Amino acid sequence: MNDRLMTVAQAAKVLGTTERFPRRLIAERRIVFVKVGRHVRIAESALVEFISNNTVQPFINRSRFGAVA
């Protein structure tokens, strides 16, 4: 396993949020995490997977823009 383990602070920086958000994801078991003693770490791959699973693709309704269906 060559996956980098990140602290909650590092994960928050990647997500562009405060530390509270990744801590909530951990508490709600919405992201995979690792317990190292009493410390919590998030694998870089788990963070990438979380981001890709929660990425919303745009939906373009052509009729809304005046195109004929």
- What is the end-to-end Cα distance of the chain in Å, rounded? 51
Q: Say how many domains are in the chain.
A: 1
Residue span of the structural domain in which 47 resides: 5-55
Q: Is residue 68 part of a domain?
A: no
Q: Is residue 66 part of a domain?
A: no
In the chain (69 residues long), the average pLDDT of successive 10-residue segments reads 90 97 97 95 96 90 61
pLDDT of residue 69: 52
Strand order in the sheet with 34-36: 5-6, 39-43, 34-36
Q: Is residue 64 part of a domain?
A: no
The answer to whether residues 43 and 4 touch, using CB atoms and an 8 Å cutoff, is yes
The answer to whether residues 13 and 47 touch, using CB atoms and an 8 Å cutoff, is no
- Cβ contacts of 14 within 8 Å, gap of 6 or more: 6, 47
